[in-house]
Structure 1
Amino acid sequence: MRVPFTKMHGLGNDFVVLDARTQELPALERSRVAAISDRQTGIGCDQLIVLEPSEDADFRMRIYNQDGGEVEACGNASRAVAILHGSDARIETAGGILSVSPAAGGASVQMDEPRFGWNDIPLAYAMDTLAMPVGWDMLDDPGAVNVGNPHVVFFVDNTDTIPLDRLGPEIENDPLFPNRVNVNVATVESRKRIRLRVWERGAGLTRACGTGACATAIHAMRRKLVDSPVTVALPGGELVIEWREGTSIRMTGPATESFRGSFEWDDYA
């Protein structure tokens, strides 16, 4: 079975997109997702994206991390898919329905309202998610936000000095987070700018994470550290995040198509 794909990226966070709206695909096992995502022996990507028909929106987007696990949301992939679709659309995801609007060089994504309850993240037990009384090594006093998927956010003096490759997997898999968690380490540079690095659950260090930028910006706004809209600078580039309490989140930034190709389904069994 020959399957076409589109390789895309948003700020260097890259995706292999499969369109199952017109060509039905077999079920995706974790091992096949991991094989396709492998950068040495597969096509290579941070996330594998599958587009499917939807009864509740224009189409459905399923998101798989490199390890084969399916996750609820991906802001960068949402912008990339908006470019691929080519017009305004409502997209069903496991984290809710998103509205996307392509623009010159990128897209805007209107996401659901963030959730802050300890059981919405979820956490293993009740605590205040605005100032969590926990810590790991030099990282402490975090906040937690669910923006379609779970994030924990730490503010530090210099995000570049944090060994996120070591602390990221430790925090991601801590029993405090039953569904694991995305780990954000940020430096507030001004009321209008944040610098951010992200360890994504199931994917590791990535050049950019759209939902991480949203979660970090929102947590900074809740702590009165920045104003909306705020620019979040990641290693791969910048995103602009807008949010007011009691409203949905708007994320705007670039995305692009890299190339197209096809592969034999059974080559990645």
Structure 2
Amino acid sequence: MRVDFTKMHGLGNDFVVIDQRARENVHMDRALAAALADRNTGIGCDQVILLEPSEVADFRMRIFNADGGEVEACGNASRAIALFHGSAARIETGGGLLEVTPGNGGAAVAMGRPRFGWEDIPLDYAMDTSEMPLSWDGLERPFAVNVGNPHAVFFVPAIEDVELGSLGPTIERDPVFPEGVNVGVASVASRDRISLRVWERGAGLTRACGTGACAAVVAAVERGLTDRIVTVALPGGELVISYDEDGQITMRGPASESFRGSFDPADYGAA
């Protein structure tokens, strides 16, 4: 049995999308997701996205990182799926309900409200999440926030000076984050512009991270560093994030289809 897929990306953060809304084509587990994501022996992607029926929304989106672990949310994937679906939709995710509206070669995604409680991140023990009293090799006092998945945001003078490839996995797996964490380093250029790099939990360095951009803007606004509408410059391109007075986050940016194909799950050891 061959399974159809669509390869998509949002600012270079790339996905293998498998549509199972009409019928189940394959049972996705950690091993198969990791095999498909492998860039040498699989299709290659940062995340595998599974679309399924939902009882509470138009459909459900499940997200598997490159290491095969299932996570709650992915902002860039949400824009890609809006484009894939082709019309406005409510999407069920592990991090809550999203509302997406495609248009102008991308989509707007209503990401909901951030959560700031230490138990919402979650952390191993109670502390101030707006300025955590912790440091890792010069990176200190991050802002921790859950925007569908957990993020620790560090504000630094220059993001290119941070060895995120080595520090990222150390922070991601620190016991203070019992479920792991995404790690962002951000520099504020002006009241309406920041630059950002993200080490994604279970995926590593990626060219863009939509929830990371949302987390960075929330952190910047809460610390009084920026206004509420901010352009976020990532290695793969730019996103515009709005964080309104009511606490609602909206992300706007591009998404694209790369190609379509099919695979046989048996080639990856799946039944």
TM-score per shorter chain, which class? over 0.9
In the alignment, the residues of structure 1 paired with residue 75 and residue 91 of structure 2 have an alpha-carbon distance, to the nearest angstrom, of: 12
Alignment of 1:20-59 (within 5 A): 20-59=20-59
Specify whether residues 115 and 245 from structure 1 end up closer, same or farther in structure 2 by C-alpha distance, changes over 3 A only.
Answer: farther
In the alignment, the residues of structure 1 paired with residue 245 and residue 202 of structure 2 have an alpha-carbon distance, to the nearest angstrom, of: 30
Alignment of 1:112-191 (within 5 A): 112-191=112-191
Please give the secondary structure, in 2, of the residue aligned with 1:83: helix
Quote the offset at 1:23 in angstroms: 3.0
Please give the secondary structure, in 2, of the residue aligned with 1:107: strand
Matched, 1:71 2:71: yes
In the alignment, the residues of structure 2 paired with residue 63 and residue 10 of structure 1 have an alpha-carbon distance, to the nearest angstrom, of: 15
Instruction: Provide Cα deviations, 1:44-94, integer angstroms capped at 9, x if missing partner.
Output: 000000000001000000000011000000000000000000000000000
Please give the secondary structure, in 1, of the residue aligned with 2:244: coil
Quote the offset at 1:26 in angstroms: 3.4
Equivalent residue for 1:195? 195
In the alignment, the residues of structure 2 paired with residue 121 and residue 220 of structure 1 have an alpha-carbon distance, to the nearest angstrom, of: 18
- AA partner of residue 14 (structure 2): D
Quote the offset at 1:245 in angstroms: 4.1
Identity of aligned residues (%): 67
Equivalent residue for 1:221? 221
In the alignment, the residues of structure 1 paired with residue 146 and residue 246 of structure 2 have an alpha-carbon distance, to the nearest angstrom, of: 14
Matched, 1:83 2:83: yes
Equivalent residue for 2:3? 3
In the alignment, the residues of structure 1 paired with residue 135 and residue 96 of structure 2 have an alpha-carbon distance, to the nearest angstrom, of: 30
Equivalent residue for 1:243? 243
- AA partner of residue 143 (structure 2): G
Please give the secondary structure, in 2, of the residue aligned with 1:77: helix
- AA partner of residue 120 (structure 2): D
| Backbone CA RMSD of aligned residues | 0.7
In the alignment, the residues of structure 2 paired with residue 90 and residue 268 of structure 1 have an alpha-carbon distance, to the nearest angstrom, of: 32
Quote the offset at 1:27 in angstroms: 2.3
In the alignment, the residues of structure 1 paired with residue 29 and residue 151 of structure 2 have an alpha-carbon distance, to the nearest angstrom, of: 26
- AA partner of residue 16 (structure 1): V
- Contact kept, 8 Å, 2:26 with 2:265, in 1: the verdict is no
Runs of 4+ that moved beyond 2 A: 244-247
In the alignment, the residues of structure 2 paired with residue 80 and residue 207 of structure 1 have an alpha-carbon distance, to the nearest angstrom, of: 15
- AA partner of residue 161 (structure 2): T
**Equivalent pairs, count:** 269
- Contact kept, 8 Å, 2:59 with 2:92, in 1: the verdict is yes
Matched, 1:18 2:18: yes
Please give the secondary structure, in 1, of the residue aligned with 2:169: helix
Equivalent residue for 1:265? 265
Quote the offset at 1:29 in angstroms: 2.0
Structure 2: state its 5+ residue gaps.
Answer: none
If the length of structure 1 is used for normalisation, what is the TM-score? 0.99
Please give the secondary structure, in 1, of the residue aligned with 2:250: strand
Equivalent residue for 1:92? 92
Quote the offset at 1:247 in angstroms: 2.5
Please give the secondary structure, in 1, of the residue aligned with 2:165: helix
Quote the offset at 1:265 in angstroms: 1.5
Instruction: Provide Cα deviations, 1:233-259, integer angstroms capped at 9, x if missing partner.
Output: 000000000012433210000001000
